[in-house]
Amino acid sequence: MKEKVTSVESTPAKNKLFDKAVFKKEIQENVKLLFRKTIDHASQEEIFQAVSLAVKDIIVDEWLATHKTYNDTNPKIVYYLSMEFLIGRALGNNLINLRCYKEVSEVLDEMGIDINVVEDQEPDPALGNGGLGRLAACFLDSLSTLGYPAYGCGIRYKYGLFKQKIENGYQIEVPDNWLKNGYPFEIKRAEYKQEIKFGGYVRVVWDEQAHKNRFVQTDYQSVYAVPYDLPIVGYGNNMINTLRIWDAEPIVEFNLESFDKGNYTKAVEQENLAKSIVEVLYPNDSHYSGKELRLKQQYFFVSASIQRAIQKYKELNNNDIHKLYEKVCFQMNDTHPTIAVAELMRILVDEEDLEWDEAWDITTKCCAYTNHTIMAEALEKWPVDLFMRLLPRVYQIVEEINRRFVNQIEERYPNQYNKVKSMAVIYEGQIRMANMAIVGGSSVNGVARLHTEILEKRELKDFYEMMPEKFSNKTNGITQCRFLLHANPLQAEWVTKKIGTDGWITDLSQIKGLEKYADDPTVQKEFMDIKYQNKLRLAKYIKEHNGIDVDPNTIFDVQVKRLHEYKRQLMNILHVMYLYNQLKANPNMDFYPTTFIFGAKAAAGYKRAKETIKLINSVADVVNNDPTINGKLKVVFIENYRVSNAEIIFAASDVSEQISTASKEASGTGNMKFMLNGALTIGTMDGANVEMAEEVGEENMFIFGMSAEEVMAYEANGGYNPYDIYNSDGDLRKVLEQLVDGTYSKEGDLFNEIYTSLLKGTGYDRPDVYFNLKDFRSYAQAQARVNKAYKDRNNWAKMAILNIASVGKFSSDRTIEEYVKDIWHLEKITVNV
């Protein structure tokens, strides 16, 4: 169990619906009702359930009020379609946003219960992999806080992202059964279930009355999509939006009757189909795996979400489908939900009886697409035969979309077949989902300025030339409610005191008010003291979870994010190996003791990533147990990195590692969370790092490495020769040889593959695809600058304060306002309780 730094909540304002005495009574009643126990016999987990139910009671009143406002004012609604919502724990965040965290913590205190322990009982709903899923969660929080009507639409995976255990230095994946004890905040809405059809074939039937052909899917299998609603609480505004996640249930109840009717096989099949669809979240981050089940998941939640959105729209708008785009917008988070374009067309044409042209006009106005990566392996393409077999009618629609679009291309670019080749939706037997999203939507956006520029100039150049009006940039952001107010209460309170207002909670630009204190030694010391408290909290967590003692007086240098070659955890650990050699050769060298902290899950099938985890742990074993370096260097791998421990980690970090190969990280959002918590960034000019440098000034970051331009120039020329570096840089050569000479693996040649991939390349890849060695020296020099800078504590604190003061742009509130203004065109609503 971990300890949180507790302090008074920053805002004095209270929730109208909250009454301490009533709340206390309700907790006791809930324990009785749920568990037939008195409070003194209840377990911490049971108390968590009871407290959550009491909080849900407050939420439900505001939730009803929000929906009454929806129905009274009939606003435009954005449906944020995403395969992932990495929401993190709800209890603490809900209390913060309901503005009764402090009061609830006091009530519990009076009952002899520690709120931190109660919060720790909640499983992290790990319904996402990493940044993309966390972005979706931050966006929902911001939409509620800003007062915009929205639904998040996703899947209620039975198993979220696996839990990571480290055994003998290796990652072990353990199933994450987050629903085991029931999830207290969800509400099943069986009345909104939708039928979803798969397979079969399409029969063309002449409709005599309407004088047209009808396309009827027959011999299909189907399941019910049944929604569960989770409340998304706005900060202090009574607004509760909904995250709607779909579960699957069989349509035919499995029973003996169907056996008698000869439907036995079909009943079993449909039951299995329902079970399998929502069974598990695919654990790949930025990597596409063309699995049929994944396509089923995509169609399942997209079709259900659109069907329900249209029903709701029709109820409120006299069934007038022609103006759907005035009230409904579907934002597609990456290509995963882009089948929405074809499904909306199918519904409008087949079920709403619209002509193709009108349906297309409505669809392209309703849909919008966010691109999250330029890496080839992440671009989704589905083989035509698989797609056709699974979704025969939707496939016909995709074909027609493609036919018409190719005609358009040929009209605009006669005899330029390369244009068809790059932009067609169907090409060489594959359906290219990004292309469909661009053609079928009103908007395409990248997630940081550099990323959008690369899309426009390179990856999507032809589309940009043909339809420039669709393109825009929306630099990602994060919610300060979770990542400062909840994660770092000491710093949150301090910020409020310094700038004399808690207005930053709903308008992060106000945090600029800190800037004037950057040179004040008293304030610098206050900041360093708070950082120290947070480092103590993390040290305690590490001791409890890893059994390692870390010294909070050392620099906490942190890289936490998914494990991916482009993120270059490998370069980081190679640098640690290099430092270790330096220290061994010269134990008295001028070096500020540093703890290098890693946290990362690797996709279960990603071999190189898993080897990197083993390498980090092997280096940790050697370095941490070498008495001759006097504890100047430590390496810690924090198991099972996820939102809940991320909150503790960011608050305790001195140095933020954002070292991706330039051009590869579309935006990054971890970088912003560190900045918000006063860590200094060592990073490449990649993703949103570029804009962070622009906000805070390059002199307040540690920037190194090749630019995106340089990287792309090397790539265009087939890479570089790592042996040039190997031969000229003795220190790095030694580190590389230590990968294969037994220094870090007594068990044989564990790291041969990493060695080979760096120097020689593999059958598939050129050597050092991600330029680890090429950027190594520049990285080591930047690390040396970090180490030197930390010795001047006042100046370090000054830089940290300037970083915090400059973080305003990176609130997801700002991002959402941009989406609203340029793409969604929503109006704010006001909810009264």
- β pairing state of 77-81 and 328-333: parallel
Among residues 92, 123, 125, 131, the one that binds ligand PLP under rule CB under 6 A: 131
State the residue number with the nearest CB to ligand PLP.
Answer: 670
**Residues pairing with 214 in the sheet:** 205
What contacts 786, CB < 8 A, 6 or more positions away? 555, 557, 655, 680, 682, 702
- Kind and range of the H or E run holding 80: strand 77-81
The 8-class DSSP code of residue 483 comes to I
Nearest one of 341, 335, 401 to 370, comparing CA atoms:
335
Closer to ligand PLP by Cβ: residue 123 or 670? 670
Supply 756's token pair.
């080979």
- Determine the interface stretch with ligand PLP among 113-121, 128-136, 396-404, 535-543 (rule: CB under 6 A): 128-136
Closer to ligand PLP by Cβ: residue 102 or 562? 562
- d(Cα 425, Cα 408) in Å, to the nearest integer? 12
Closer to ligand PLP by Cβ: residue 89 or 673? 673
Binding to ligand PLP, residues 530-589 (CB under 6 A): 561-562
Please, are residues 229 and 247 in contact by the beta-carbon 8 Å criterion?
A: no
- Determine the interface stretch with ligand PLP among 126-134, 143-151, 208-216, 344-352 (rule: CB under 6 A): 126-134
Where b means 16+ CB within 10 Å and e means fewer, 555-583 reads bbbbbbbbbbbbbbbbbbbbbbbbbbebb
Catalytic, out of 163, 296, 372, 535: 372
Binding mask 241-280 for ligand PLP (x = CB under 6 A): ----------------------------------------
Q: How far is the CB of 448 from ligand PLP (least distance, A)?
A: 11
- Determine the interface stretch with ligand PLP among 41-49, 55-63, 214-222, 666-674 (rule: CB under 6 A): 666-674
Closer to ligand PLP by Cβ: residue 518 or 638? 638
Q: How far is the CB of 620 from ligand PLP (least distance, A)?
A: 21
Among residues 440, 670, 678, 722, the one that binds ligand PLP under rule CB under 6 A: 670
Q: How far is the CB of 751 from ligand PLP (least distance, A)?
A: 24
Catalytic, out of 568, 601, 673, 774: 673
Please, are residues 98 and 357 in contact by the beta-carbon 8 Å criterion?
A: no
Q: How far is the CB of 538 from ligand PLP (least distance, A)?
A: 15
Clarify whether 766 is annotated catalytic.
no
Supply 618's token pair.
């092997």
Q: Is 642 in the site for ligand PLP (CB under 6 A)?
A: yes
Catalytic, out of 56, 163, 567, 642: 567
Please, are residues 419 and 461 in contact by the beta-carbon 8 Å criterion?
A: no
Q: How far is the CB of 558 from ligand PLP (least distance, A)?
A: 10
Q: Is 681 in the site for ligand PLP (CB under 6 A)?
A: no
- d(Cα 274, Cα 296) in Å, to the nearest integer? 10
- Determine the interface stretch with ligand PLP among 14-22, 194-202, 425-433, 664-672 (rule: CB under 6 A): 664-672
Closer to ligand PLP by Cβ: residue 670 or 705? 670
Q: How far is the CB of 45 from ligand PLP (least distance, A)?
A: 23
- d(Cα 731, Cα 229) in Å, to the nearest integer? 56
Closer to ligand PLP by Cβ: residue 127 or 397? 127
Catalytic, out of 370, 669, 681, 815: 669
Q: How far is the CB of 747 from ligand PLP (least distance, A)?
A: 30
What contacts 445, CB < 8 A, 6 or more positions away? 368, 369, 370, 371, 452, 471, 472, 473, 474, 823
Among residues 130, 160, 337, 392, the one that binds ligand PLP under rule CB under 6 A: 130
The 8-class DSSP code of residue 459 comes to I
Among residues 51, 104, 248, 646, the one that binds ligand PLP under rule CB under 6 A: 646
Clarify whether 516 is annotated catalytic.
no
- Full strand arrangement of the beta sheet holding 680-683: 633-637, 594-599, 555-560, 655-658, 680-683, 702-703
Please, are residues 295 and 384 in contact by the beta-carbon 8 Å criterion?
A: no
- d(Cα 808, Cα 815) in Å, to the nearest integer? 11
Closer to ligand PLP by Cβ: residue 562 or 575? 562
Q: How many residues of this chain interact with ligand PLP, rule: CB under 6 A? A: 12
Closer to ligand PLP by Cβ: residue 324 or 659? 659
Closer to ligand PLP by Cβ: residue 446 or 668? 668
Please, are residues 582 and 594 in contact by the beta-carbon 8 Å criterion?
A: no
- Determine the interface stretch with ligand PLP among 13-21, 111-119, 193-201, 669-677 (rule: CB under 6 A): 669-677
Binding to ligand PLP, residues 375-434 (CB under 6 A): none
Q: How far is the CB of 771 from ligand PLP (least distance, A)?
A: 18
Closer to ligand PLP by Cβ: residue 281 or 643? 643
Distance, CA of 341 to chain centre: 23
Per-residue 3-state assignment (H helix, E strand, C coil) for 385-402: HHHHHHCHHHHHHHHHHH
Q: How far is the CB of 488 from ligand PLP (least distance, A)?
A: 14
Closer to ligand PLP by Cβ: residue 447 or 823? 447
Q: Is 668 in the site for ligand PLP (CB under 6 A)?
A: yes
Clarify whether 336 is annotated catalytic.
no
- d(Cα 217, Cα 584) in Å, to the nearest integer? 71
- d(Cα 475, Cα 445) in Å, to the nearest integer? 9
Clarify whether 561 is annotated catalytic.
yes
- d(Cα 830, Cα 819) in Å, to the nearest integer? 20
**Residue 13 CB neighbour total at 10 angstroms:** 11
Per-residue 3-state assignment (H helix, E strand, C coil) for 526-582: HHHHHHHHHHHHHHHHHHHHHCCCCCCCCEEEEEECCCCHHHCHHHHHHHHHHHHHH
Report long-range pairs for 39-46 (Cβ below 8 Å, ≥24 apart).
39/111, 44/117, 44/118, 44/120, 44/121, 45/121, 45/181
- Determine the interface stretch with ligand PLP among 130-138, 273-281, 351-359, 404-412 (rule: CB under 6 A): 130-138
Binding to ligand PLP, residues 289-318 (CB under 6 A): none
- d(Cα 281, Cα 179) in Å, to the nearest integer? 14
Closer to ligand PLP by Cβ: residue 131 or 392? 131
Supply 795's token pair.
């100046």
Q: How far is the CB of 812 from ligand PLP (least distance, A)?
A: 11
Length of the chain: 833
Binding mask 595-634 for ligand PLP (x = CB under 6 A): ----------------------------------------
The single-letter code of the amino acid at 656 is S
- Determine the interface stretch with ligand PLP among 523-531, 642-650, 721-729, 766-774 (rule: CB under 6 A): 642-650
**Residue 274 CB neighbour total at 10 angstroms:** 23
Clarify whether 673 is annotated catalytic.
yes
Q: How far is the CB of 259 from ligand PLP (least distance, A)?
A: 47
- Determine the interface stretch with ligand PLP among 368-376, 394-402, 532-540, 668-676 (rule: CB under 6 A): 668-676
Based on DSSP, count helices (H) and strands (E) in the chain, helices before strands. Answer: 33, 23
Binding mask 132-151 for ligand PLP (x = CB under 6 A): --x-----------------
Among residues 98, 609, 643, 685, the one that binds ligand PLP under rule CB under 6 A: 643
Q: How far is the CB of 704 from ligand PLP (least distance, A)?
A: 17
Q: Where in 219-252 does DSSP place strands (E)?
A: 221-233, 240-250
For 333, 550, 560, 646, 658, the CA distances from 538, given in Å and listed in that order, are 33, 9, 14, 10, 20
Q: How far is the CB of 337 from ligand PLP (least distance, A)?
A: 20
Supply 788's token pair.
């030197």
- d(Cα 126, Cα 468) in Å, to the nearest integer? 37
- d(Cα 150, Cα 143) in Å, to the nearest integer? 7
Catalytic, out of 4, 163, 498, 562: 562
Catalytic residues: 372, 561-562, 567, 669, 673
* Residues near ligand PLP (CB under 6 A): 130-131, 134, 561-562, 642-643, 646, 668-670, 673
